[in-house]
Amino acid sequence: MLSIAELQQLISDALVQRNFPKTPTTLYDPIHYFLHIGGKRLRPVLTLLATQLFEAPVNDSIPAALAIETFHNFTLLHDDIMDEAPLRRGRETVHQKWNVNTAILSGDALLIIAYQLLAESNPAYLPQILTTFNKMAQEVCEGQQLDMDFENSMHVSESEYVHMIRLKTSVLLGAALKIGAILGGATPSDQQLIYTFGVNMGIAFQLQDDILDVYGDPLKFGKQVGGDIIENKKTYLLINALRLAPSAVAKDIHHWMHLTVFNPEEKVDAITAIYNTLGIKEQAEATKNRFAQEAYAALDQINLPREKKQNLIQFADDLLIRES
Amino acid sequence: MLSIAELQQLISDALVQRNFPKTPTTLYDPIHYFLHIGGKRLRPVLTLLATQLFEAPVNDSIPAALAIETFHNFTLLHDDIMDEAPLRRGRETVHQKWNVNTAILSGDALLIIAYQLLAESNPAYLPQILTTFNKMAQEVCEGQQLDMDFENSMHVSESEYVHMIRLKTSVLLGAALKIGAILGGATPSDQQLIYTFGVNMGIAFQLQDDILDVYGDPLKFGKQVGGDIIENKKTYLLINALRLAPSAVAKDIHHWMHLTVFNPEEKVDAITAIYNTLGIKEQAEATKNRFAQEAYAALDQINLPREKKQNLIQFADDLLIRES
């Protein structure tokens, strides 16, 4: 059984060895650049972990795992245009380094490459894999749209928020695992269980992200603490603060949200103080733990000895108690 | 055997009856709008014609045919952003009616919907269809990139131009036919022949487009005659004029190309006069006919009675002697 680190290496090597097309360079240079500016390759590792769980050779799942990673990078590339983000992993984004047209078209090509990789999988499993992948891909687009819609809405409920992150972030983890399980020969019921594990882990992961943005250790977090607060991002924390705050406090939050000129540190401190008073961190952690438990419960139901699941449990633990 | 008009109706009906998703409306409204602003549905009809040629039921090919049409619309939607086009078929483009972010994401979703439709095809043929579709999709992206690259280059050769239109326009016609043939149970050699027919027909079709832009009857053309000349578009005509013109005439062409303020009618007249002197129209028509003949020759080689091919011959004839 290969460790998570060994599987990560396998993915990195496969990505480097892969002969992606080269010309026209104006189309493919941005793709090569973007695929190699880093990232932990967590999602493709999930695919391999799932295949390994069902005792099938991980090598057969490498193209599908790379399809998952390529798809993920496609979404990042296009999201960066939509968010007008100048940086990704500390490096220039594609639309910034080249231009928007290049970023649109390279993103399109990256999505098509994902399907090419997927098509290299065992033909016997192809219809199932393709259906799983397509459903996920569509939901990720819907999640991105909802995320953009929420920017212009002051009335996002907790359940609407969870629905959005389920689509935008979590179904990709679920599908990465399910595709690995299909290729591993898992039964439909085990495929569903591992998907449920992935989706719930994904929601808990995103909630952890929301918490870290405010409560992360500045020395370990790697990003500016309070970035979401500065940008008025509708996180789980903000949505619940707006829901729970007495009207005077809610007014205070709105005041900060509407200021166009402000001292960022002051805004972060003020909103964090409100979160503290309302017990928002504890509430977010409780919700996160609820989804984490649902994830572990689904994994538990897969009828295999617990030691075989150790890698996946480790993976989820790392994701959910991380500090950056 | 269904006629071209009957197959067109079949596609239109299937597109209307199809339950595309509805929410989030911010994502799907633009897709519904764009899919229904018209178009002659020529490409999906090719898929059905190919299936019918090999005597298989066309109904089995409808999802794949819709995938071809949906893919075509995806490319138009994203190309319109890149070209900053305000209108498509006389109606507002998506990025114009909504905004660029909506157009990017709706286009992405449209491409994914194309794959969902494709995945509904007979699983026995799915690996082959998917491979054909993926190769085509990648090539279309490459063609669009080359087209954009050519905008900034004064040195595009005739063969580079033909390579570009082969990728951008023609392989989609070839793949539409090949996928229909695969689903119709055609032999690999017949699949290849019908693909060759489609690609060469596509190149001839694009050359006819280039000719019509300058020599079309204003009453029948439906677009502004000379639009390509006004925009300095590197068409087959312009490329060959630059290649064949004596240096004084070439200087004259460059003079018109570099003017930022000019009377459009005067520019169209001047460049058209140069084309006439150089015999560019005749040359373009000779090249067009050469590709058309290659197309018909490939079709001819398919070992089926000629009357079965009548629909496809009719289709190509209509495409290549059209006036709009």
Query: Which tops the pLDDT comparison, B210 or B152?
Result: B210
Predicted confidence (pLDDT) per residue in A156-196, tens digit: 999 999 999 999 999 999 999 999 999 999 999 999 999 99
Predicted confidence (pLDDT) per residue in B272-316, tens digit: 999 999 999 999 999 999 999 999 999 999 999 999 999 999 999
User: Which amino acid, A310?
Assistant: Q
Q: Taking the CA atoms of B226, B229, B233 and B235 in sequence, report the sign of the dihedral they define.
A: positive
**Tokens 């990704």 sit on residue:** A88
- DSSP-derived 3-state class of residue A52: helix
Do B119 and A100 lie within an 8 Å CB cutoff? no
Q: Which of B82, B105, B111 sits opposite A101 (nearest CB)?
A: B82
Position B12 pLDDT exceeds 80: yes
Predicted confidence (pLDDT) per residue in A31-52, tens digit: 999 999 988 999 999 999 999 9
Do A145 and B116 lie within an 8 Å CB cutoff? no
Size of interface A-B (CB pairs under 8 A): 109
Q: pLDDT band for position B217 (50/70/90)?
A: confident
Do B21 and A138 lie within an 8 Å CB cutoff? yes
User: Would you state the pLDDT for residue A19?
Assistant: 86
> How many CA within 13 A on the CB side of residue A201?
30
ipTM of the complex: 0.95
B146 close to A (CB below 8 A): yes
Nearest-CA distance A141 → chain B (Å):
6
Average pLDDT for A41-68: 97
Helices (H), chain A: 4-17, 25-35, 42-53, 62-82, 94-97, 100-118, 126-151, 158-165, 171-183, 188-215, 218-221, 227-230, 236-244, 247-258, 264-278, 280-301, 310-320
Mutation site for B-interface testing, chosen from A145, A156, A167, A182 by largest number of B Cβ within 10 Å: A145
Position A321 pLDDT exceeds 90: no
Among the listed residues B171, B27, B99, the one whose alpha carbon sits nearest the alpha carbon of residue A112: B171
CA distance A138 to B73: 17
Q: What are phi and psi of A85, to 5 degrees?
A: -80, 125
- As given in the structure block, the two tokens for residue A101 are 């047209």
Contacts of B21 in chain A (CB under 8 A): 138, 142
Among the listed residues A30, A42, A118, the one whose alpha carbon sits nearest the alpha carbon of residue A74: A30
B26 close to A (CB below 8 A): yes
CA distance A6 to B111: 34
Predicted confidence (pLDDT) per residue in A186-242, tens digit: 999 999 999 999 999 999 999 999 999 999 988 777 677 899 999 999 999 999 999
Q: pLDDT band for position B225 (50/70/90)?
A: confident
Do B101 and A112 lie within an 8 Å CB cutoff? no
**Tokens 């992405």 sit on residue:** B108
Position A115 pLDDT exceeds 90: yes
Average model confidence (pLDDT) across chain B: 95
CA distance A107 to B284: 35
B134 close to A (CB below 8 A): yes
* DSSP state letters, B188-240: HHHHHHHHHHHHHHHHHHHHHHHHHHHHS-HHHH-S-TTHHHHTT---HHHHH
